[in-house]
Structure formats: structure tokens, C-alpha cells
Amino acid sequence: MSIKAEITNHGSHVGTLEESDERDYHFTYDATNKGFPAPESVSVTLPSSALPYQADRLFGFFDGLIPEGWLLNITSHQWKIDKNDRMRLLLAVCGDCIGSVAVQSEVREPVEAVINDGAPLPPTQKLPPSTYCLCCLGKLTHDEAHYHKACAKSLFGSPHAPIINATAHDIDRLGLEVVNQRLAVTGVQRKLSLSLDRNSGDLGGRLTIVGLWGEYILKPAPAELPSMAANEHLIMNIASAMGIPVPPFGLIALQDGTFAYLVRRFDRVRQEHAAVAKVSVEDFGQIFDRNQGAQKYGSSYNQIGRWIKEHSSQPGLDVTRFFEHVLFSFLVGNSDLHLKNLSIFTQAGIRLTPCYDLVSVEALEPGDDEELALPLGGKKNKLGGSDFESFATYLGITPKAYKNLSKRYKNLPNIAAALAAHAWIPDTEKDRLERLIAQRASRLG
């Protein structure tokens, strides 16, 4: 029996996705009446067309909306769906996805629920006074608690941090609630999409699980890697200090006193009168149709760079930003910069999104055999200055621009050490990170 899904973009119906009895797939945009514009394209790989698209497997764009890892396991178990049955997974959990596209299903609509509302909680573990900001790691003034007022305003829209009534142990239960509400956030790690309820009566508001308009992603540290949230927080701060575009982010204390990493979603924009708009984005896993498991490592930075040069609306700026993203990842030991950790905006032109999911894997969990997730000029290891210089040339970056950029990165070890001194990671992890950055920076020449 064939299966159909109605597809919306920015809340408007744009087409129909169908899986036939023979397990081939068709995507058809809505027919347009004379004088009316064609539906907006859902993906750069599926431009708006009067003709239907056909494939022998689920289209890469739609397949890439399905969560991986932790949330996929919950979805498969809760809905009794085989992990290879991609169409039914899409229908089950993608009522609200990363980006502006949604998959309509007969499953009930999501209902807003305050995290842990009514559930018994352990006594709140009050954080001890902090000297340094949980956003920027800068020193706090005597009248600031945990966040600079300006940093809190940037992240939360208020000088006061919101309440989040959950502990690290609640996350699996909340993941089940997310699945039941058909909310999908891509990625392997445990993460939840949250919205800030500014009318809860709490000073600073209250973070809630809610469909459609979730403005934040919350990532608690896994029990086996308790410093992971603080590691990502530190690396994002180092990136920001180097001038790399990143979304607003910070650490937030859970009910049990442990930290979770919180980042504002760049595919959701709060507008006037508290309305939130969806923004069209897609990652390179979707673009190259390599979304599942090891597939997201099945490309190269050269291939991605070539695509950016050919398709970006601002190729000069974007290839430089992309080059810097790869160079920075090498220097800080972020060996997981795969296809799904690189994304583009696709409305009002094509351009790179801010950087996200920056973690020093090597400092957190030493022993990775590879320095980069994808090949750079055919290499993943033993990279040096000549490799990055060749890559810059391949991308069309001028020798003068490369020289200036390399000169700026010579100061990275000092910047990283200054920020790491105030980060919430173990001293051994700080030492590993500082030695790693110094050693790899020396290889650039």
C-alpha cells in the first residue's frame, strides 16, 4: 500500500511526497493556477518544478530530516518502526524539523508541555557564585550572577536567565515526549528543542518543550563524558574570539546543578510581537544525499568547497569562511566536522550558516586516529601548512588573504589558553587542549 505525506514550507502546503507499493518515491509540487507564483522550493536539490521528481529511495533532503542516534532509537522503539523504514520514520517524527519544511501526518498535533511539569524533582542544587560568565567566560561584575547582563540579553532576550526544571536523568523521558509530539532535531547526541515561555511568571521565563517554534537546542553532557557540554562551550567561545560566526550560546544549570549546553537556533527568528519565523536551511548531508551513519563521512572538504564556489550567493566570503572553519577544526581537534555539521541558508540566496557543534574531540576523548573527519586534498592525517595553503589556492583564496589569515591564527594558542583558564572543564582536559593547539599551530609554519 502506498504512503503519502503532505509537505509544508513556512506553514504553507507546497507538495506531496509518496512511497509506492514498489518502494520508489515521488515528490510533486502543487500545481499553480495561472497568474500565481510556483511554490517555493523545499531544497536546492528539489527546485520548484511542474514535473514530479522520482527516485528509488527516499530523497536525500527528506531523509536528512530524520534524527539520528539517541532520538532515532527512541522513535524506532516508541513507534515500532524499523530504522530502515525511512518514510514511516519521517511521518512519525518530522512534524517539526530543522529548517522551514514540515511533514504533515494524521498523528495528533503536539501540545505544549513545561519540562517536568508536575513530576517530582530533587531539591534544587543552587549554583555557587561564579566569577566568570556562563556565556562569554569574561569576568563578572559584583552585581552580576552567572551571566553578564548583555550576554543574557543576547541569548535569552532578557538580563535574567530562565528556569529549566529538569535534571540530566530526565532527558530520556523528555526525548520520549519530544517523539510523541513529532519534533525532530538532527544529530547523534542527546538534544532537545526548547522554547522560552516569557509569560510563565518566572523571572527570566521558563524553558519548555514545544512544537514549531522551539528557539533553542539543549544538549546535556552524557554521563560517560561529563565535561562535553563545557568543552563545546569553550570551543565555541574560542571560535567567537577568532571572529568565526557562531549563534548565541551558553551554559545553563539543570535542576541537579549539572551544566547543559544551550544554543539559540539560527533556523528560528523571533520577530516583532513575539512571533517566531522559520528559516530555510539544509546541511551537506542532505545536499549530497549522505545522511545515515558512515555516509556523512563519505565526501571531502574539496568537494564541499567546490559546491560552495559554484552555488553560493556570496562565494568569495563563503569560501573564506569555510576554509577558516576547516582550519579552526584542525587546530582545536574538532575531528567530527562531517557533512551534517555544515549547513547553508537557502532563502534570500544561498550562504553558509553560522558554525555549530564545535567540540575538541581530541581533548575530550584522546585517541582519535584521524585529525579531520573528511579528507583535505586526499589526506586526513599529518596535515601541515602546505596542505592548507594548497586548499586555500583550490578555493580561490589569494596568497595575500591566506598569509593574513595564517598570521591571525598564530595568536590562537594564546587566545585559547586565556579562555580555557576560566572554562568548566578538568585541568587535564585544558592541558591536552592547549598542547594540541600549540603543536598543530606550529605545523602551519
pLDDT tens per residue across span 163-173: 887 777 777 77
Q: To the nearest whole percent, how much of the chain has pLDDT over 70?
A: 85
pLDDT tens per residue across span 117-145: 444 444 444 555 679 999 999 999 988 98
Which pLDDT does position 183 carry in this prediction?
53
N-to-C CA span, the chain: 62
DSSP one-letter string for 82-141: -TT-HHHHHHHHTTB-SSSEEEE-SSPPP--EETTTTS--PPP-PPPP-SB-TTT-PBPP
| Rounded-to-integer distance, Cα 98 and Cα 183, Å | 9
Phi–psi pair at 243, nearest 5 degrees: 85, 10
**Which residue bears the cell 563519505?**
298
Topology of domain 282-442, CATH: 1.10.1070
Domain ranges (residues) in the chain: 3-104, 113-272, 282-442
Q: List the 249-253 sheet strands across, edge first.
A: 113-114, 206-209, 192-197, 216-220, 259-264, 249-253
For residues 95-112, average pLDDT: 71
Average pLDDT, the chain: 87
Asked if 96 contacts 102 with a C-beta cutoff of 8 angstroms, the reply is yes
For residues 55-72, average pLDDT: 92
CA dihedral 205, 207, 210, 215 (to 10 degrees): 90
Which pLDDT does position 129 carry in this prediction?
60
Asked if 199 contacts 184 with a C-beta cutoff of 8 angstroms, the reply is no
For residues 50-78, average pLDDT: 90
- Return contacts of 85-92, CB within 8 angstroms, 24+ apart: 86/57, 86/58, 87/3, 87/5, 87/17, 87/19, 87/25, 87/58, 88/3, 90/5, 90/17, 90/58, 90/62, 90/63, 90/65, 90/66, 91/3, 91/5, 92/179, 92/182
Q: What is the pTM of this model?
A: 0.91
Which pLDDT does position 339 carry in this prediction?
98
User: Looking at the predicted structure, is the pLDDT value of residue 261 above 50?
Assistant: yes
Which pLDDT does position 431 carry in this prediction?
97
pLDDT tens per residue across span 281-312: 999 999 999 998 899 999 999 999 999 999 99
User: Looking at the predicted structure, is the pLDDT value of residue 329 above 80?
Assistant: yes
CA distances from 124 to 258, 259, 347, 391 (A): 11, 13, 43, 51
Report the DSSP pairing between strands 25-29 and 12-19: antiparallel
| Amino acid, single-letter form, for residue 177 | E
CA angle (176, 181, 182) in 5-degree steps: 95
User: Looking at the predicted structure, is the pLDDT value of residue 114 above 70?
Assistant: no
Which pLDDT does position 254 carry in this prediction?
87
For residues 168-183, average pLDDT: 65
Asked if 90 contacts 81 with a C-beta cutoff of 8 angstroms, the reply is no
pLDDT tens per residue across span 364-420: 999 888 999 999 999 999 999 999 999 999 999 999 999 999 999 999 999 999 999
User: Looking at the predicted structure, is the pLDDT value of residue 181 above 90?
Assistant: no
Q: Hey, is 196 helix, strand or coil? A: strand
Which pLDDT does position 175 carry in this prediction?
66
Q: List the 343-345 sheet strands across, edge first.
A: 281-283, 343-345, 351-352
| Amino acid, single-letter form, for residue 289 | D
C-alpha cell recorded at residue 101: 519544511
Which helix H or strand E contains 29, and what residues bound it?
strand 25-29
What is the pLDDT confidence band of residue 207, given thresholds at 50, 70 and 90? confident
Which pLDDT does position 130 carry in this prediction?
77
**Which residue bears the cell 587535564?**
428
What is the pLDDT confidence band of residue 36, given thresholds at 50, 70 and 90? low
**Which residue bears the cell 510556483?**
38
Spell out the residues 6+ positions from residue 120 whose beta carbon is closer than 8 angstroms to its own.
none
